[in-house]
């Protein structure tokens, strides 16, 4: 019986090649998209699942709430004191480690080699995060201060074929320089991990922060990551429930001028499983860029929709071809076939088509998956066997698609009554309601296509807006040099002076907050007459910064080294006496427009002369009095996803992490080479790191760019699948209406009248699809755009363009059939049947 079903199914496909081609190609595209998205979704959800004992390892995360705006700042980082205090108060915690990010320079063989991703740890790191080591003992590798563990790739880069175990490395991190002994080699971290480092060094926090002891005890200072391991059987929910009381017991009050404040009033802490870090809410202060469950769910839904569209094609074409199989069904019933047997036959044919489509889809996946993996920077692989093999999902997908696409046609075709079909010598295939069902399904297909086109247009428009919107400074013609962890002999002042003399350079400035730097320094500010403090970002600059950046002073004046009160004279690591001297004297500052409004002034001009105190000195010294002498235009120095910060700029000669260079040369690469030559002359042993502002901004929006391209690809696939179905329906519709069209032409209808008639028939579903797709896409895109601080207006343009494009594509798809039928000889049409 099944052999007979297979033979009949193959013959039916070979007899109707157009039908078979449309179904197989459409299903193959849908299945390929579904499989690739399934692989990428599974990859996103696999982050850190490979980590041994992952279910017991937690990251301590911090959430701060701005008391003025109510905005949340969810950070993967937490203060150093948090981990130690949690371990002390909760016996359920077995082990804890603190990791501090670093970008040191390794001195080896007379060469200075930069390490981009490194961490310093205060404990047995591999006891908490049991990463696999290929050499060394994880229980003892980081037992002593000054020991270091390298990744396999880093060990090869530093030592080549030599055995690195026991060798000495000199690490230069800022102004610190120390020898470290290699005690272990770990496997390279896979890409599906929130961790990202190639070097782990053991350090002593008490020594490292001897000149800044507040870092180790302050609850508002973020700098690294705390990880804990729970004991077997520990209830993490019980720990979370006790955290509010734990905060009240452990977070001390602080003096803020003449008031007392507490970090626990604006901050909360939580334990998050390491497997949930990548897709968690907290993405600030992360080692690697994360994702979110909503994006993953969106792509999964898109994959299902594209596959459903392919199944709709199968259903539509099967019911449209019903007239061609009515006699076959009738004869089979006359010869004794039951309805169950007919249903089994048609579903078997559907599964056969799905199986053939799956073979083609697997070919597409094998060809396209490497491109997708490179595009997403992910380790996407197609394995068929094993625990993570795709063989079972593939078989299930074939059966599911075969059933989904064939069950309705099977029940529909098997219901034909042989007496009616054979007596009338014609088909009763066009039963009441079948045409309406096909129209509904076509509407659904084009609604999905139009919605995806709208989403693509909006995401692309927002990405362009992010890269081209006015940032409040002159973005073009800027080169940013990293000087934070790369000390230059003679200081950054010498470097700035030498670079300013170069050909093509028109301005040089030093700053503690450059373009998209990770530097973030918020301080509490006290306004006279207001009890609650406000948060302001406080950063040092030199007197060339505003001019070099092209930031406009909108009120007052800039800062000048010639004015004593304009300068913060303290060294990089001030003593208590230095802080008290500054508190007694005060300092002039420039604020941005947002900071002026937060200080309570409606216009920038009103803020000139305003005074406030800010906590940039030791607590014992008190608040530093600041006087506003200028207001600068708001500037967006970070991602467009983040709100513009209220900023306070003060003049200093210390504390810079970036050098910004303005140039007017037509050869930016030559300017960069000249700056690099100066750097190598002043600091030959220190690696040079510089980027053009356009490159920095492009990196900021890589995720948005990738998302726009992904939506464009999915929208294209959806349109192709929809057009394949429409093409097939147009062919069968034209065939069924041949006699009608012949009569119309005999009665005087012209070619363009016939074309207009057919075009209108296929335009109606597209128009109705717009009415469904527009509100759905508007709701989804409005929610997505709300995640941006600055966003495009969700106007009618993308909706009209998407609707017009879908209509044009639909008409273009059926145009060939319409013209061919409309120009045919009516004599041949009337001889039909």
pLDDT at 611 over 60: yes
Q: What percent of the chain clears pLDDT 90, i.e. is strictly above it? A: 27
**Taking each helix axis from N to C terminus, what angle separates 17-45 and 339-376, rounded to the nearest 10 degrees?**
50
pLDDT at 270 over 50: yes
- C-beta of residue 788 within 8 angstroms of C-beta of residue 703: no
Largest alpha-carbon pair distance within the chain? 109
Could you tell me which residues are beta bridge partners of residue 611? 627
What's the rounded Cα separation, in Å, for the pair 606 and 339? 86
**For residue 219, what pLDDT is reported?**
82
* Confidence class for position 257, pLDDT limits 50, 70, 90: low
DSSP of 548-604 = HHTPPEEEE----TTSGGGB----SS--HHHHHHHHHH-EEEEEEHHHHHHTT-SSH
- Asked if the structure places residue 481 within a domain, the reply is no
What's the rounded Cα separation, in Å, for the pair 480 and 512? 12
C-alpha distances (whole Å) from 630 to each of 12, 15, 470, 566 are 81, 82, 21, 11
- Examine the domain organization and report whether 341 and 415 are in the same domain: yes
SS3 178: strand
- Examine the domain organization and report whether 334 and 271 are in the same domain: no
- Examine the domain organization and report whether 127 and 270 are in the same domain: yes
- Examine the domain organization and report whether 68 and 139 are in the same domain: yes
Question: For residue range 363-410, what is the model confidence (pLDDT) as tens digits?
Answer: 988 988 888 887 777 788 888 887 677 888 888 888 887 777 667 666
Does the model's pTM come out above 0.75? yes
**For residue 175, what pLDDT is reported?**
66
- Asked if the structure places residue 287 within a domain, the reply is no
Q: Could you tell me how many residues make up the chain?
A: 833
Write down which residue in 641, 663, 685 finishes a domain: 663
Token readout for 218 is: 């302050």
pLDDT at 434 over 70: no
DSSP 256: E
What's the whole-number mean pLDDT along residues 497-518? 90
What's the whole-number mean pLDDT along residues 445-458? 85
**For residue 57, what pLDDT is reported?**
94
- Examine the domain organization and report whether 334 and 260 are in the same domain: no
- Asked if the structure places residue 680 within a domain, the reply is no
- Asked if the structure places residue 498 within a domain, the reply is no
* Confidence class for position 540, pLDDT limits 50, 70, 90: very high
Give backbone dihedrals phi and psi of 534, rounded to 5 degrees, phi first. Answer: -120, 155
**For residue 226, what pLDDT is reported?**
95
The rounded Cα 644 to chain-centroid distance in angstroms is 20
**For residue 542, what pLDDT is reported?**
92
- Asked if the structure places residue 480 within a domain, the reply is no
DSSP H helices, 203-274, are 205-208, 214-217, 236-250
Best-predicted range by mean pLDDT (131-135, 735-739, 820-824): 131-135
SS3 88: helix
Q: Which is nearest to 459 in space by CA: 705, 786, 642, 716?
A: 705
Token readout for 458 is: 């909006």
In sequence order, which residues have a C-beta less than 8 Å from that of residue 362 and are 6 or more positions away? 32, 35, 394
Contacts 24+ apart (CB under 8 A), 359-368: 360/24, 360/25, 360/28, 361/27, 361/28, 361/29, 361/30, 361/31, 361/32, 361/35, 362/32, 362/35, 362/394, 364/28, 364/29, 364/32, 365/32, 365/35, 365/36, 368/32, 368/36
Q: Which is nearest to 219 in space by CA: 624, 619, 517?
A: 619
What's the rounded Cα separation, in Å, for the pair 535 and 789? 18
pLDDT at 20 over 90: no
C-alpha distances (whole Å) from 709 to each of 16, 170, 451, 511, 696 are 36, 44, 15, 35, 20
- C-beta of residue 618 within 8 angstroms of C-beta of residue 576: yes
Question: For residue range 749-766, what is the model confidence (pLDDT) as tens digits?
Answer: 776 777 777 777 777 888
- Asked if the structure places residue 386 within a domain, the reply is yes
pLDDT at 533 over 70: yes
- More confident site: 489 or 832: 489
In sequence order, which residues have a C-beta less than 8 Å from that of residue 45 and are 6 or more positions away? 279, 296
What's the whole-number mean pLDDT along residues 696-725? 77
- Examine the domain organization and report whether 561 and 622 are in the same domain: yes
**For residue 10, what pLDDT is reported?**
61
DSSP of 422-481 = HHHTS---S-TTHHHHHHHHHHHHHHHHHHHHHHHHHHHHHHHHHHHS--SS--TTEEEE
**For residue 465, what pLDDT is reported?**
86
What's the rounded Cα separation, in Å, for the pair 27 and 356? 9
In sequence order, which residues have a C-beta less than 8 Å from that of residue 695 and are 6 or more positions away? none
SS3 826: helix
What's the rounded Cα separation, in Å, for the pair 326 and 317? 14
**For residue 566, what pLDDT is reported?**
92
- Asked if the structure places residue 473 within a domain, the reply is no
* Confidence class for position 662, pLDDT limits 50, 70, 90: very high
**For residue 430, what pLDDT is reported?**
47
Residue 722: domain span? 2-44+293-466+702-830
**For residue 429, what pLDDT is reported?**
43
* Confidence class for position 510, pLDDT limits 50, 70, 90: very high
Question: For residue range 138-160, what is the model confidence (pLDDT) as tens digits?
Answer: 888 999 999 999 999 999 999 98
- C-beta of residue 197 within 8 angstroms of C-beta of residue 60: no
- Examine the domain organization and report whether 60 and 31 are in the same domain: no
**For residue 431, what pLDDT is reported?**
44
C-alpha distances (whole Å) from 411 to each of 318, 323, 698 are 11, 15, 55
pLDDT at 488 over 70: no
- Examine the domain organization and report whether 442 and 580 are in the same domain: no
For the ranges 232-246, 374-388, 629-643, 772-786, the lowest mean pLDDT is seen at: 374-388
Question: What spatial distance separates the first Cα and last Cα of the chain, rounded to whole Å?
Answer: 34
Question: For residue range 188-225, what is the model confidence (pLDDT) as tens digits?
Answer: 999 889 999 999 999 998 888 876 777 788 887 778 99
**Burial of residue 166 (number of CB atoms within 10 Å: 0-12, 13-18, 19+):** exposed
Write down which residue in 645, 663, 681 finishes a domain: 663
232: left (phi over 0), alpha (psi -120 to 50) or beta: beta
Best-predicted range by mean pLDDT (296-310, 556-570, 720-734): 556-570
- More confident site: 487 or 833: 487
* Confidence class for position 487, pLDDT limits 50, 70, 90: low
- Examine the domain organization and report whether 415 and 514 are in the same domain: no
- Examine the domain organization and report whether 147 and 240 are in the same domain: yes
Write down which residue in 601, 633, 663 finishes a domain: 663
pLDDT at 229 over 50: yes
Q: How many domains does the chain have?
A: 3
- Asked if the structure places residue 734 within a domain, the reply is yes
**Burial of residue 451 (number of CB atoms within 10 Å: 0-12, 13-18, 19+):** buried
- Examine the domain organization and report whether 563 and 615 are in the same domain: yes
- Examine the domain organization and report whether 39 and 58 are in the same domain: no
Token readout for 86 is: 């949690």
The alpha carbons of the chain give a radius of gyration, in whole angstroms, of 34
Give backbone dihedrals phi and psi of 96, rounded to 5 degrees, phi first. Answer: -150, 150
Q: What percent of the chain clears pLDDT 70, i.e. is strictly above it? A: 83
Question: For residue range 794-813, what is the model confidence (pLDDT) as tens digits?
Answer: 888 889 988 888 888 777 77
pLDDT at 644 over 90: no
pLDDT at 653 over 60: yes
């Amino acid at each position: 019986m099944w052999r007979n079903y297979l033979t009949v199914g193959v013959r039916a496909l070979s007899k109707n090649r157009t039908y078979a081609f449309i179904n197989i190609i459409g299903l193959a595209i849908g299945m390929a998209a579904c499989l690739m998205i399934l692989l990428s979704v599974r990859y996103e959800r696999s982050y850190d699942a490979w980590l041994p004992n992952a279910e017991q390892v937690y990251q301590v995360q911090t959430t701060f709430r701005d008391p003025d705006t109510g905005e949340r700042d969810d950070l993967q980082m937490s203060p150093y004191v948090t981990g130690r205090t949690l371990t002390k108060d909760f016996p359920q915690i077995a082990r804890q480690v603190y990791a501090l990010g670093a970008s040191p320079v390794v001195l080896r063989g007379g060469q200075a080699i930069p390490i981009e991703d490194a961490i310093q740890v205060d404990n047995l790191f591999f006891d908490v995060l049991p990463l696999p080591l290929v050499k060394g003992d994880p229980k003892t590798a980081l037992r002593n201060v000054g020991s270091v563990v390298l990744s396999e790739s880093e060990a090869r880069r530093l030592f080549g074929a030599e055995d690195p175990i026991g060798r000495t490395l000199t690490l230069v991190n800022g102004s610190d320089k120390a020898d470290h002994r290699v005690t272990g080699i770990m496997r390279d971290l896979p890409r599906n991990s929130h961790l990202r480092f190639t070097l782990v060094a053991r350090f002593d926090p008490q020594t490292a922060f001897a000149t800044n002891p507040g870092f180790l005890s302050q609850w508002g200072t973020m700098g690294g990551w705390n990880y804990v391991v729970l004991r077997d059987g520990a209830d993490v929910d019980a720990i979370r429930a006790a955290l509010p009381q734990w905060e009240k017991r452990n977070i001390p009050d602080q003096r803020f001028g003449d008031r007392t404040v507490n970090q626990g009033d604006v901050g909360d802490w939580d334990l998050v499983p390491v497997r949930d870090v990548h897709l968690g809410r907290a993405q600030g202060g992360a080692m690697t860029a994360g994702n979110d469950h909503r994006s993953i769910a969106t792509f999964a839904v898109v994959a299902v929709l594209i596959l459903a569209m392919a199944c709709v094609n199968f259903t539509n074409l099967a019911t449209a071809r019903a007239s061609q199989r009515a006699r076959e069904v009738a004869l089979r019933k006359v010869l004794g076939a039951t309805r169950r047997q007919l249903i089994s036959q048609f579903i078997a044919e559907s599964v056969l088509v799905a199986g053939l489509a799956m073979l083609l889809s697997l070919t597409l996946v094998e060809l396209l998956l490497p491109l997708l993996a490179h595009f997403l920077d992910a380790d996407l692989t197609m394995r068929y066997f094993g625990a993570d093999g795709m063989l079972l999902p593939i078989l299930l997908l074939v059966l599911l698609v075969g059933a989904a696409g064939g069950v309705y046609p099977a029940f529909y075709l098997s219901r034909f009554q042989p007496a009616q079909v054979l007596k009338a010598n014609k088909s009763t295939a066009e039963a009441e309601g079948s045409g309406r069902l096909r129209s509904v399904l076509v509407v659904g297909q084009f609604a999905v296509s139009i919605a995806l086109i709208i989403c693509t247009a909006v995401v692309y428009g927002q990405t362009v807006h992010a890269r081209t919107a006015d940032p409040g400074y002159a973005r073009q013609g800027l080169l940013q040099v990293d000087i934070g962890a790369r000390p230059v002999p003679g200081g950054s002042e010498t470097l700035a002076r030498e670079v300013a003399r170069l050909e093509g350079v028109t301005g040089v400035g030093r700053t503690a907050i450059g373009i998209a730097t990770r530097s973030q320094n918020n301080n509490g500010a006290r306004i006279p007459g207001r009890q609650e403090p406000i948060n302001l970002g406080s950063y040092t600059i030199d007197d060339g910064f505003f001019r070099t950046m092209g930031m406009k002073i909108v009120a007052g004046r800039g800062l000048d080294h010639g004015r004593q009160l304009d300068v913060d004279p303290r060294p990089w690591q001030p003593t208590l006496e230095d802080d008290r001297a500054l508190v007694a004297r005060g300092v002039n500052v420039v604020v941005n427009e947002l900071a002026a409004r937060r200080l309570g002034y409606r216009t920038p001009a009103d803020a000139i002369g305003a005074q406030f105190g800010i906590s940039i000195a030791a607590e014992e010294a008190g608040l530093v009095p600041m006087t506003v002498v200028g207001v600068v235009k708001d500037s967006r120095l970070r991602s467009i996803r983040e709100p513009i910060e209220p900023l306070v700029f003060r003049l200093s000669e210390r504390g810079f992490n970036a050098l910004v260079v303005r140039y007017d040369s037509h050869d930016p690469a030559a300017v960069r080479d000249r700056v690099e030559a100066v750097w190598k002359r002043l600091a030959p042993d220190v690696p040079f790191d510089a980027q053009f502002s356009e490159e920095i901004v492009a990196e900021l929006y890589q995720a948005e760019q990738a998302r726009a391209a992904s939506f464009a690809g999915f929208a294209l696939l959806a349109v192709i699948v929809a057009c394949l179905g429409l093409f097939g329906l147009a062919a069968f519709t034209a065939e069924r209406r041949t006699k009608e069209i012949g009569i119309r032409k005999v009665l005087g209808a012209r070619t363009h009248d016939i074309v207009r008639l057919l075009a209108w028939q296929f335009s109606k579903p597209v128009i109705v699809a717009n009415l469904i797709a527009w509100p759905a896409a508007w709701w989804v895109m409005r929610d997505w755009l709300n995640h941006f601080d600055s966003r495009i207006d969700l106007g009618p343009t993308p909706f009209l363009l998407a609707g017009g494009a879908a209509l044009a594509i639909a008409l273009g798809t059926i145009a060939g059939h319409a013209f061919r039928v409309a120009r045919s000889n009516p004599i041949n049409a009337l001889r039909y049947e």
